[in-house]
Amino acid sequence: MPPAASLPVRIARTSAHRSRRLWHNYGVFWLGAVLVGLVSVAYAKLVDFGFELFQRMLAHGFWLPLIVTPLGAALAIWLTQKFFKGSEGSGIPQVIATLQDGRLSRSLLTLRIMFGKIAISFLGILCGFTIGREGPTVQIGASLMYAMRRGYRRSSAHIERQLTLAGAAAGLAAAFNTPLAGVVFAIEELSRSFVARNSGTLITAIIFSGVVALGLQGNYLYFGQIKAISEFHWTLIPVLIGASLLTGVAGGAFCWLMLNVPRWMPASLVGMRRAHPVRFAFLCGVVIAVIGIVSGGTTFGSGYAEARGLLESHEALSPLYALLKFGALSVSYLSGIPGGIFAPSLAIGAGLGNVMSHVTAVVPLPAMAALCMVGYLAAVTQSPITSFVIVMEMIDGHQMVIPLMAVALLATQVSKAFSPSFYHTLAHRFLTPETPATPATPKA
């Protein structure tokens, strides 16, 4: 064949080779990011549908949760323990643990865990548990992207870590419709470092996932518009300090209680929680049902409606709402059911803002609720920048940038006086699992 005639053939072969290389380097990754967006939106719709069903049930009889919630809790924990071990809680500690030790990925970031996370958290919200979907979406996104490693001819620990980190960040961004928060969350909370070569990977995943979420749900604000603080004046300073102290103490107390269960819970209940988790979950279901009935139904679910009502329509809640929601979230977490604490924490923060609005009128109720939301979330996660960016991107109140940032930073410092980092402490327990205690030798 003449050399001139072989030129088109060589060009075609070179183009095909480059296309295959681009697919293996970027196509698999882009496809995974799109799938994270699709699954995140579908999961959000499923959770919303589950809570609608629960509310319909509640309309037929306020007493029905006394039956449905305990039985549903027992079934959820039995399924979790039997088939989906590793899907407990929000899922963020599991992702952090896998980023620190890649060997855990094969047990904590599987498609089985992903489906279990979706199914059991749906069952939990269907029964009125105080759980959110945002934390689970982080583990779901990480699991889905980790599974995409099979699309590479030669996977490596570096590729798997990049996929996990990007999937987790994309999951959070799609859950809250907050793309910038996804980047900050990956840097501040998940990896606690920033390497320049990873930035493009993260942002690309978040863009692809975010485009899918926006295309299916539209460009919306998670909590709608609020009446922001119009201008800064010196009378705001005591209010900001008060909000920081209140939310910092409350968030730090939640972390301490959840991380030191044996130090305050009666020994009989601690033993039941370890040896008979299904029975313990049934008991937790009873407590959650009672709290929900006492609150008039406001503590069931994630608390999204109550928080949005405070921010957008000035609907004041009972002064006891924050305390009752705090109790419902604590018991839901203790049960071990798969479910997050992001949205319930924002609801508790809004409830604390509702309490502060009864004390001072310097700040309008919606703005006070937003300040306490960012403070409580920052105190629980001890990630002030992530919390600030999440709340800023979820509301229409950009005049509040400095007050929100100040409360987030101060509340985090107050929380650290009570407890270490909540998610990283739990992640450490996956890295160093507890070994059963050796039975003591009976004395003669």
Give 392-406 pLDDT, tens digit per residue: 877 666 678 888 999
Contact 172, 196 (CB under 8 A): no
DSSP track, 96-154: HHHHH-GGGHHHHS-HHHHHHHHHHHHHHHHTT---BSHHHHHHHHHHHHHHGGGGSSS
CATH 3.30.43.10, domain 235-431, yes or no: no
Flag whether pLDDT at 436 surpasses 50: no
Residue with tokens 């700040």: 363
CA 92 to CA 205: how far, in whole Å? 18
Contact 178, 394 (CB under 8 A): yes
CA 29 to CA 307: how far, in whole Å? 36
**Domains 27-217 and 235-431 are alike in CATH topology:** yes
Read off the tokens for 50: 């589950």
Mean pLDDT of 322-351: 95
Over 38-104, what HEC string results? HHHHHHHHHHHHHHHHHHHHHHHCCCCHHHHHHHHHHHHHHHHHHHCCCCCECCHHHHHHHHHCHHH
Measured at the CA of 217, the angle between CA 211 and CA 221, to 5 degrees, comes to 95
Q: Which CATH architecture has domain 27-217?
A: Orthogonal Bundle (1.10)
Name which residue leads in pLDDT, 227 or 356.
Answer: 356
Positive or negative torsion for Cα 199, 205, 206, 211: positive
CA dihedral 328, 330, 336, 342 (to 10 degrees): 90
Give 163-220 pLDDT, tens digit per residue: 898 899 888 888 877 777 777 888 778 776 545 445 566 677 777 787 777 677 666 5
In this structure, how many other beta carbons lie within 10 angstroms of the beta carbon of residue 172? 31
17-26, 286-295, 361-370, 393-402: least confident range: 17-26
Give 82-109 pLDDT, tens digit per residue: 999 999 999 999 999 999 999 999 999 9
Phi, psi of 338 (to 5 degrees): -65, 125
Give 300-333 pLDDT, tens digit per residue: 999 888 888 877 766 678 889 999 999 999 999 9
Give 239-264 pLDDT, tens digit per residue: 999 999 999 999 999 999 999 999 99
Taking the domains of the chain in order of start, what are their residue ranges? Answer: 27-217, 235-431
CA 97 to CA 425: how far, in whole Å? 10
Contact 388, 405 (CB under 8 A): yes
What pTM does this model have? 0.89
